[in-house]
Structure 1
Amino acid sequence: MTAYTLGSLLYEGKAKRVFATDQPDLVAVEYKDDATAFNALKKAQLAGKGELNCRISALLFEHLASRGVPTHYLGVQGSQWMLVRPVRVIPIEVVIRNVAAGSLCKQMPIQPGTPLEPPLLDLYYKDDAYGDPLLTEARLDVLGLVTLDQRRELEELARRVNGELLTLFDGIGLQLVDFKIELGFTAGGELVVADEISPDTCRLWDRAVTDASDRILDKDRFRQDLGGVVEAYGEVLKRVQGACPEPRIYR
């Protein structure tokens, strides 16, 4: 027996569907098997991807909770469903880069693989219609998305997440190259980590592999047509399972 009844579809994104429930303080998220890249210009269906991302995200949310990091996560149910607290998501993607890779190396004269110390934190306006543009301080002021204090809180929480994930992944032989997260406010005004944390949103390299393609265990396998996407995500899950508390079953 479930402790809730599924309601209407609230939002459908590239990788997830978000549903209301009969409880105002509970939202259900379904992880899809859809794979997209380049602002959804490249698409595919990868059987099992949704289940893997749901499981990995749940494990990482459990780990962050055990370290005192606030998230929207409440538990899982079934293979592709996560139950979360409703949040007012800030339309800002927070990207933290520990190693230069991807678009950064196309936009700046930095060689791929260059360590970034301290990690580089960038903010992007989350809107596909505008191509998720980089936000400068002046643009943030114009848009009025967050106050100065909220921005500081947002960046502090994101850096805290980075620190926790760096330690976790390093312990299981993975290098956290970069990642993006979304944050939001609960009904009580608490800033929490929302959305997901998975190989869809993180660049992860196998530290034991030197080949620049073979070491990739994230969405870049899909972007670069390397194949083995589901297998790579499965390897991440296997390692994370050994280091994180088991996902709680929502009842």
Structure 2
Amino acid sequence: MELINKGKTKDVYELENGYYLLKFKDDVTGEDGIFDPGANTVGLTIEGAGQSGLKLTKFFFEILKEKGIPTHYIDADIEKATMTVKPAKVFGNGLEVICRYRAVGSFLRRYGMYAEEGQTLDAFVEVTLKDDERKDPPITEDALHMLGILSKEEYKILKELTIKISNIIKEELAKKDIELYDIKLEFGRVGENNEIALIDEISGGNMRAYKNGKYIEPLELEKIILDS
């Protein structure tokens, strides 16, 4: 097992069989000790965050698998906080795709002249570059195409998959009377055919979820959703 990448919230290892192993950490993104799913830095360490994030990730990836959605997921070991995945090639140096159902966070900061806080959005898809130095700038379909990061056809697939996956997760949360405000996903090219597939994780650290108008912390979200 060879360490390939030491990330903020996960370490990536290459296995002898060609698959990758993701090791989930208890570090979460944020600033000044306050959790923020959109932050570019590790803000704090929460005991159990790694296992919690993996439990939710496993739960959602297995639902997506049943529905025939392409992902890199193979299996997970909750006790060891590890997930085995297929290798994937990221777009450029990595993209983040956000699906928004409410006007909050950076959307509100940018478009506050026109948007009201909490305003309903119709599964608005936004793509940002993974670029800490430039604070993850948003990028358009045309720019992605012109810079050779993503073809227009790939962008169409990416957008359709984002809405489909986000709506599935939104429906799962609604079963527990939880409303999904926004969610951050990552995609890559997987397999010999370079199929566009969901990669990384789907956990409380990737989304803003609310119950009765109150924000739910990632660890609490996992408990509510997986409490049978």
TM-score w.r.t. the length of structure 1 is 0.81
Partner of 2:35: none
User: Which deviates the most, 152-161 or 140-149?
Assistant: 140-149
Q: What are the within-5 Å matches in structure 2 for residues 176-187 of structure 1? A: 176-187=180-191
| Structure 1 match to 2:34 | none
Q: What root-mean-square deviation, in Å, do the aligned CA atoms of Structure 1 and Structure 2 show?
A: 1.5
- Whole-Å separation in 2 of the counterparts to 1:233 and 1:131: 23
Amino acid at match of 1:205: Y
Specify the alignment match of 1:205 in structure 2.
Answer: 210
In the TM superposition, what whole-angstrom CA distance separates every residue of 1:114-141 from its partner, at most 9, and x where no partner exists? 111x221111111212221110233213
Equivalent of residue 116 in structure 2, options 111, 119, 136:
111
Asked if 1:100 corresponds to 2:103, the answer is yes
CA-CA distance at 1:203 after TM superposition: 0.6
Q: Determine whether 1:33 maps to 2:21.
A: no
Q: Find the aligned partners of 2:209 and 2:50 in 1 and give their Cα distance.
A: 18
Listed as ranges, the matches of 1:1-251 within 5 Å are 7-24=1-18, 26-37=19-30, 38-40=39-41, 43-77=43-77, 78-90=79-91, 91-109=94-112, 110-116=115-121, 118-188=122-192, 189-206=194-211, 209-210=212-213, 215-217=214-216, 232-242=217-227
SS at match of 2:84: strand
Structure-2 separation of matches of 1:144 and 1:79: 38
1:150 and 1:195 mapped to 2: Cα distance?
Answer: 19
Residue in 2 that maps onto 1:248: none
Aligned length: 214
How far apart, CA to CA, are the structure 2 residues paired with 1:141 and 1:76?
Answer: 35
Alpha-carbon distance, 1:242 to partner: 5.0
Mapped partners of 2:146, 2:195: distance in 1? 24
Question: CA deviation digits over 1:166-204, x for unaligned, max 9?
Answer: 111111111110011010111222211000111111111
Distance in 2, matches of 1:233 and 1:106, equals 23
Identity fraction in percent: 27
**Stretches of 4+ aligned residues off by more than 4 angstroms:** none
Which consecutive unaligned segments of at least 5 residues does structure 2 have?
31-38
Q: Matches of 2:56 and 2:144 in 1, distance apart?
A: 32
